[in-house]
């Protein structure tokens, strides 16, 4: 069984143990993105942070728990950034554009948090076979849908769009973004970040009833490395 966040050997929650746990989670996220889940071992994580494998097991219990915990760690940073970004945007069009960029535009190489599409690829693969991981996947996906639905409900409240089924829109829009972002993350030759944004925003504009026109296409788009890319999710 995984130990609750902040627990340390013989101690209650404190800043030092929280920091140690976060170091392990960052190391796990980096290694899974670099190597894939199947090639990442508990001993690799321990070695990267200078800890014993027993301490990593104490915190997380199993490698499956470590995978989902690493993704949740990355998601916390993503949602903090998303909330700040959404607060700076005015209007449903701008806010949805911001979410599309967060999802479909590859992160910079020097990003504070590792790209998380590699984590999501492995999470989906494990969730297909393991019920416990599948439950975590449901929770993580639902948080993303809830964020999208909140943007739509705010737009309805501000009379920017007609009253719509915000939850229903969120399910479809999140699924569309997932599919588009996978193609961008895998460097599909016919679907780059610009085209993904046009497809996603075209759907949102048609469904919600607001005006949207594609911006001028950039001359070049940096391709995302395989198994990397999702600023979300992140």
Q: How far is CA 137 from CA 72, 74, 97, 122, in A?
A: 10, 14, 25, 11
**Is residue 219 in a domain?**
no
Identify the pLDDT of residue 42: 94
Provide the domain limits for residue 28.
15-208
Residue 55, domain CATH? 1.10.357.10
Number of domains in the chain: 1
Single pTM value for the model: 0.75
pLDDT at 17: 79
Residue 8 domain flag: no
Between CA 226 and CA 232 the distance in angstroms is 16
Residue stretches of the chain with pLDDT short of 70: 1-14, 16, 106-116, 215-234
Tokens for 226, please give them.
Answer: 């395989």
Whether 226 is in a domain gets the answer: no
Whole-number pLDDT of residue 201: 96
Residue 19 domain-assigned (yes or no):
yes
- Residue 228 is assigned to a structural domain of this protein: no
Q: According to the model, what pLDDT value does residue 115 have?
A: 62
4 located within any domain = no
Rounded Cα distance between 16 and 14, Å, is 6
Domain assignment present for residue 31? The answer is yes
Question: Which residues fall within 8 angstroms of residue 131, CB to CB, at 6 or more apart?
Answer: none
Is 172 within the bounds of a domain? yes
pLDDT tens profile 103-133: 887 654 434 444 667 778 888 888 898 888 8
């Amino acid at each position: 069984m995984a130990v609750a966040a902040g627990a340390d050997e013989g101690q209650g929650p404190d800043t030092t143990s929280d920091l140690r746990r976060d170091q392990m989670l960052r190391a796990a996220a980096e290694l899974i993105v670099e190597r894939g889940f199947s090639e990442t071992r508990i001993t690799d994580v321990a070695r990267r942070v200078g800890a014993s494998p027993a301490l990593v097991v104490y915190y997380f219990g199993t490698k499956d728990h470590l995978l989902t915990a690493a993704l949740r760690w990355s998601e916390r940073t993503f949602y903090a950034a998303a909330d700040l970004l959404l607060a700076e945007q005015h209007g449903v069009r701008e806010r949805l554009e911001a979410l599309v960029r967060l999802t479909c535009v590859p992160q910079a190489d020097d990003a504070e948090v590792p790209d998380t599409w590699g984590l999501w690829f492995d999470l989906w693969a494990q969730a297909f076979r393991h019920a416990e991981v599948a439950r975590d996947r449901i929770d993580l996906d639902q948080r993303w849908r809830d964020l999208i639905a909140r943007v739509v409900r705010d737009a309805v409240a501000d009379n920017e769009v007609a009253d719509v089924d915000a939850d229903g829109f969120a399910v479809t829009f999140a699924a569309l973004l997932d599919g588009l972002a996978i193609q961008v993350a895998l460097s599909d030759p016919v679907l780059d970040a610009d085209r993904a944004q046009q497809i996603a925003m075209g759907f949102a504009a048609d469904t919600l009833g607001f005006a949207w026109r594609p911006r001028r296409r950039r001359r070049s788009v940096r391709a995302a490395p395989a198994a990397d890319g999702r600023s979300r999710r992140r």
